[in-house]
Amino acid sequence: MHRREKNEHLKSNIRYLIKSRGETQLSLCNASGLTRTTIYNILEGRVTNVQHSTVRKISDFFGVSYKEIEHVDFEEKEAIDQSISLEGNMNPAAVPIISEGFLLGCLEKTVGELVTSFPLTYYFGSAHNLLGVLLEQDIEGGNTSGDLLIVHRGVICREGDNLAYMLSTSRLCIWRGQEGESNEVHVIGLIVEERFNGL
């Protein structure tokens, strides 16, 4: 496949994945570490040869393979998959399990990096950029040490429960969007699944 075709696949896939996953260019930039200018230039076709590391960061963010994002039309592929597969018949996403004590040091790393360094669990659902956070301390309001929280990193939901880090206490907490913004709280992401200790 020629470079021009790869670039066209990359552009259309980024547009489709942003839209279909409920993301924005900003959330992609924030989570992947790429600049808005880089993403803009790719989408506008101003880059003739996108760097390997840039494509890798984008594919890691969306939880797709590096080769697929340049060679496969995801919109067409997912339309076919949905038309022939039964509800729930999907491949699970591999999720790195990070103990609470290591979490802050891992937030700048991509999921692709983390899955090679930490044990894995699997999530059955349509999500990407997921982390499994293994609690070492109880969280006020329901979660206890040993619980595993599956977190959609970088996503904040006004109606749902978000996992956050409280700067004043250096502890994790549950943050709800309606509580308002605070400089004391660093939101890690939306909790998409809770697995309670022993289950």
Task: Check pLDDT > 80 for residue 105.
Answer: yes
Angle, to 10 degrees, between the axis of helix 25-32 and the axis of helix 52-62? 110
Q: Is the pTM higher than 0.85? A: no
Q: Please list, in sequence order, all residues whose beta carbon lies within 8 angstroms of the beta carbon of residue 50, skipping any fewer than 6 positions away.
A: 7, 10, 42
pLDDT, one tens digit per residue, over 33-76 is: 899 999 988 888 888 888 888 988 888 888 888 788 888 887 88
In the block, tokens 């609470």 appear at 100
Closest CA relative to residue 133, chosen from 108, 110, 153: 153
Closest CA relative to residue 130, chosen from 157, 150, 104, 100: 150
Q: How far apart are CA 14 and CA 10, in angstroms?
A: 6
pLDDT at position 27 is: 86
pLDDT, one tens digit per residue, over 109-119 is: 888 888 888 99
DSSP 8-class letter at 86 = P
At the topology level of CATH, where does 93-195 sit? Umud Fragment, subunit A (2.10.109)
Homologous superfamily of the 3-84 domain (CATH): lambda repressor-like DNA-binding domains (1.10.260.40)
Q: Please list, in sequence order, all residues whose beta carbon lies within 8 angstroms of the beta carbon of residue 158, skipping any fewer than 6 positions away.
A: 177, 178
Relative to beta strand 130-134, strand 120-123 is unpaired
Buried-state track 35-69, b at ≥16 Cβ within 10 A, e below 16 = eeebbeebbeeebeebeeebbbbbbbbbbbeeeeb
Domain ranges of the chain: 3-84, 93-195
Q: How far apart are CA 112 and CA 71, in angstroms?
A: 19
Q: What share of the chain is helix, strand, coil (3-state, %, to 5)?
A: 40, 25, 40
